[in-house]
């Protein structure tokens, strides 16, 4: 039930609403046939009310990472390490209700599962724990069907030729010669009618990794100080109060480790902390809390070991993610060396 903390936030913001259905979330719920279950004891009126309260809380708080059917087939799962829990893969003995309650109250250290203490009322916490334990761990049920008439989806079966691409049965980039006429029509339908919500379709080739550009302030289309020069694609306006903070400081005598750290910092960290380490660029100033101004620290106020720890593990309560799954230990050491040399105040 974690809220996704993505270092590459630009990748997924446009599809937040699509979390219902991405990568086999709600859509697999709507299309997959539920497994046959043995008859379960009938719930009392009070138990039914609690179960439905748990469903309501789960569908509001938890589906984005754990999926509508509790199987963790979501877009968030593809970005998180370790992956969110697939409740359907556990037995009641492996994942008892008390363990679910503990995870809700205390979170799970080392994962994106946060504590919901203070967010959920005790009745809500107990209800969602009972719901997960019965609906997914015990019954392997399919929870809420999203594509219903009540939700504005009459005759959803008319999209049936696109279902294999939504479910991931067929890769979206399958060569055309390997698809029959119906599958080709289904792919066209998926791309024209479904892809805005089913953004994370399965592909055989993920393509090159995304790379961020640290220069994040508005671009005005001309070269500062050269009004008669034709606009350049990367030109920025000198009127931007953020432009000066994207200038990389020139430092003589950098060691090989510090030069490596400079390259890594400007490619990964400057997007939020700015090229000059102040955090006073476009993105850094719109964060809440704002990106840290690294020039306010010294070796005394931020020892090198603590700096590496923050880069490695992130800072709870801020937008600073843990980079230990993105950067290698040597790369974190290099960034720490560069930050201390380029931005930290001299020690008195």
Q: Are 166 and 73 in contact (CB under 8 A)?
A: no
Cα gap 114→4, rounded to integer Å:
10
Report pLDDT for 215. 45
Q: Are 66 and 131 in contact (CB under 8 A)?
A: no
Furthest-apart CA atoms within the chain: distance in Å: 80
Buried b (16+ CB within 10 A) or exposed e, 151-172: eeeeebeebebbbbbbbbebbb
Mean pLDDT of the chain: 80
Asked whether residue 29 carries a pLDDT value surpassing 50, the answer given is no
> Residue 49 corresponds to which tokens in the numbers above?
């009310």
Domains of the chain (ranges plus CATH)?
9-138 (1.10.760.10), 243-342 (1.10.760.10)
Asked whether residue 319 carries a pLDDT value surpassing 80, the answer given is yes
3-state DSSP assignment of residue 29: helix
Report pLDDT for 199. 67
| Mean pLDDT score, 8-25 | 32
Confidence of residue 151 (pLDDT cuts 50, 70, 90): low
Cα gap 215→245, rounded to integer Å:
9
Confidence of residue 225 (pLDDT cuts 50, 70, 90): low
> Residue 291 corresponds to which tokens in the numbers above?
């990106």
Report pLDDT for 41. 65
| Mean pLDDT score, 15-37 | 37
273: left (phi over 0), alpha (psi -120 to 50) or beta: alpha
The 10s digit of each residue's pLDDT in 167-213 is: 889 999 999 999 999 999 999 999 888 876 776 678 888 776 555 44
CB neighbours of residue 236 within 10 Å: 19
The 10s digit of each residue's pLDDT in 230-258 is: 555 545 455 467 778 888 999 999 999 99
Cα gap 256→262, rounded to integer Å:
10
Report pLDDT for 214. 44
| Mean pLDDT score, 81-91 | 93
CB neighbours of 267 closer than 8 A, spacing ≥ 6?
211, 212, 214
Lowest model confidence (mean pLDDT) among 221-225, 249-253, 338-342: 221-225
Report pLDDT for 16. 32
């Amino acid at each position: 039930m974690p809220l996704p903390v993505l270092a590459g936030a630009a990748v997924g913001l446009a599809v937040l609403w699509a979390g219902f259905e991405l990568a086999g979330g709600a859509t697999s719920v709507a299309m997959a046939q539920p497994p046959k279950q043995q008859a379960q004891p009938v719930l009392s009126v009070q138990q039914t009310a609690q179960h439905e309260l748990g469903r309501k809380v789960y569908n509001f708080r938890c589906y984005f990472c754990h999926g509508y059917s509790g199987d963790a087939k979501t877009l968030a799962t593809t970005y998180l390490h370790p992956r969110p829990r697939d409740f359907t893969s556990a037995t009641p003995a492996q994942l008892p209700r008390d363990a679910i309650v503990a995870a809700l109250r205390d979170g799970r250290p080392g994962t994106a599962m946060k504590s919901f203490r203070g967010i959920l009322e005790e009745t809500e916490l107990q209800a969602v724990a009972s719901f997960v334990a019965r609906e997914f761990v015990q019954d392997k049920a399919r929870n809420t069907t999203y594509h219903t008439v009540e939700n504005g989806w009459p005759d959803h079966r008319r999209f049936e030729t696109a279902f294999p691409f939504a479910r991931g049965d067929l890769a979206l980039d399958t060569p055309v010669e390997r698809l029959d006429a119906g599958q080709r029509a289904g792919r066209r339908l998926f791309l024209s009618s479904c892809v805005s919500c089913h953004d994370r379709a399965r592909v055989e080739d993920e393509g090159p990794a995304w790379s961020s550009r640290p220069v994040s302030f508005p671009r005005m289309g001309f070269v500062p100080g050269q009004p008669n020069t034709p606009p350049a694609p990367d030109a920025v306006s000198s009127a931007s109060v953020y432009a000066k903070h994207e200038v990389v400081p020139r430092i003589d005598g950098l060691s090989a480790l510090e030069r490596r750290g400079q390259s890594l910092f400007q490619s990964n960290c400057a997007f939020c902390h700015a090229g000059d380490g102040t955090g006073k660029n476009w993105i850094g100033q719109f964060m809440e809390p704002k990106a840290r101004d690294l020039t306010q620290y010294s070796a005394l106020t931020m020892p090198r070991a603590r700096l590496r720890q923050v880069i490695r593990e992130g800072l709870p309560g801020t937008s600073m993610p843990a980079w230990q799954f993105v950067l290698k230990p040597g790369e974190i050491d290099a960034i720490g060396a560069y930050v201390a040399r380029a931005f930290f105040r001299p020690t008195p």
